[in-house]
């Protein structure tokens, strides 16, 4: 399976480095620089097309991003961002300060609003559910995408917090299912 994932465009909370998680935050105004990034990514997507399936999470920031890219999509809850629980709406640094080494070295041991183990289970359910598709485009979220990259590279998501995925990143993964 080939899956191309695009992290949603920035929100005001992204600009403040606040964790959004399951909060349904709208996108910020799209700058000229982001518009150019969308155009650059569209060229990449044209070379990867056609897609068997285009998906977006249940959260409006992924819908808005897919719309700006010009794609019709199906909604898939397995793509939803990690539930950060009490850390939603606060700077990411507060989570790092509290959990430090565990956040980076063994995040599967953490339970926030959702356990990180459950995030891995959602990745595995996603791969199982869509294994018959050869080429998928998905509009998603930072933690989910980092977890998918770690899973594809390592067979688990424990390396996810050592990976950076910026807003509007377009990443293509080949995954054995």
- pLDDT tens digits for range 57-77: 999 999 999 999 999 999 999
Please report, for the chain, the start and end positions of each structural domain, with discontinuous segments joined by +: 2-174
CATH code of the domain made up of 2-174: 3.40.50.1240
Residues 6+ apart with CB under 8 A from 18: 88, 89, 90, 91, 92
pLDDT of residue 80 exceeding 90:
yes
pLDDT of residue 177 exceeding 90:
no
Per-residue pLDDT reduced to its tens digit, 143-153: 999 999 999 99
Per-residue pLDDT reduced to its tens digit, 1-22: 999 999 999 999 999 999 999 9
pLDDT of residue 102 exceeding 90:
yes
Question: Is there a contact between 34 and 69 (Cβ–Cβ < 8 Å)?
Answer: no
Amino acid 176: pLDDT: 83
């Amino acid at each position: 399976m080939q899956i191309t994932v695009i992290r949603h465009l920035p929100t005001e909370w992204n600009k403040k480095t606040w964790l959004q998680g399951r909060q349904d935050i709208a996108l910020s105004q799209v700058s000229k620089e982001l518009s150019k990034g969308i155009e650059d990514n569209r060229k990449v997507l044209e070379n990867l097309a056609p897609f068997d399936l285009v998906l977006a999470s249940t959260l409006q920031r992924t819908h808005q991003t897919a719309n700006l890219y010009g794609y019709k999509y199906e909604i898939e809850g397995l793509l939803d961002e990690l539930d950060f629980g009490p850390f939603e709406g606060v700077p990411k640094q507060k989570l790092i300060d509290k959990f430090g080494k565990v956040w980076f070295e063994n995040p599967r041991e953490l339970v926030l609003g959702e356990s990180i183990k459950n995030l891995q289970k959602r990745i595995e359910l996603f791969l199982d559910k869509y294994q018959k598709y050869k080429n998928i485009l998905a509009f998603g979220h930072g933690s989910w995408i980092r977890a998918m990259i770690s899973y594809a590279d390592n067979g688990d998501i424990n390396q996810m917090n050592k990976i950076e995925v910026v807003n509007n990143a377009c990443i293509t993964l080949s995954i054995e299912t």
